[in-house]
Amino acid sequence: MKRRRNILIWAGFAVVLIALVSYIPVFALFPATRDVPWATYLLFLIGSALIAAGVRRAFRDPERNRGKISGSILAALSALLIALFVASVTYYSKQIPSAEAALGVSQKAPPFVLADIAGNEISSSDLLRNHRGLVLVFYRGYW
């Protein structure tokens, strides 16, 4: 008897990868799915359930179903990816410095040196030499 492919394992791993890859470009855009990534957690749960069902099928009837080795490897890899995601969302994202040390409105900034578009260094004291004030604009960047 020819053994069948165990598609549940691969489908579950694909769902876990889709959940991991889709967080930044899709779910992080909206506060409802960024602050508590419930949609990503739901996809992780669905993927894990599919992997568990596939591994269970492979170990229950190994003569008819493939996937004992690949299922175990993909299950462990999925668990590692899920753990890394949960750790990064719950712990590492909270390690941002507090805003208490930031300058407030109308506070004087300490002296600084920045590079202009051409790469030349310009100090704040040089800019303030002929002007009364200085406006700083901070761009968030691509993230």
Q: For 37, phi and psi rounded to 5 degrees?
A: -75, 65
Q: Is the pTM of this model over 0.95?
A: no
Domain boundaries, the chain: 7-94
98 confidence band (pLDDT: 50, 70, 90): confident
Please check whether residue 88 is in contact with residue 34, taking contact to mean a CB–CB distance below 8 angstroms.
no
62 confidence band (pLDDT: 50, 70, 90): confident
Q: pLDDT higher for 19 or 128?
A: 19
**pLDDT tens profile 38-49:** 999 999 999 999
Q: Which amino acid is at 24?
A: I
Structure tokens that stand for 70 in this block: 């690949």
Tell me the C-alpha distance between 121 and 93, whole Å: 32
Cα 95 off chain centre by: 14
Collapsing DSSP to helix, strand or coil, 65 comes out as: strand
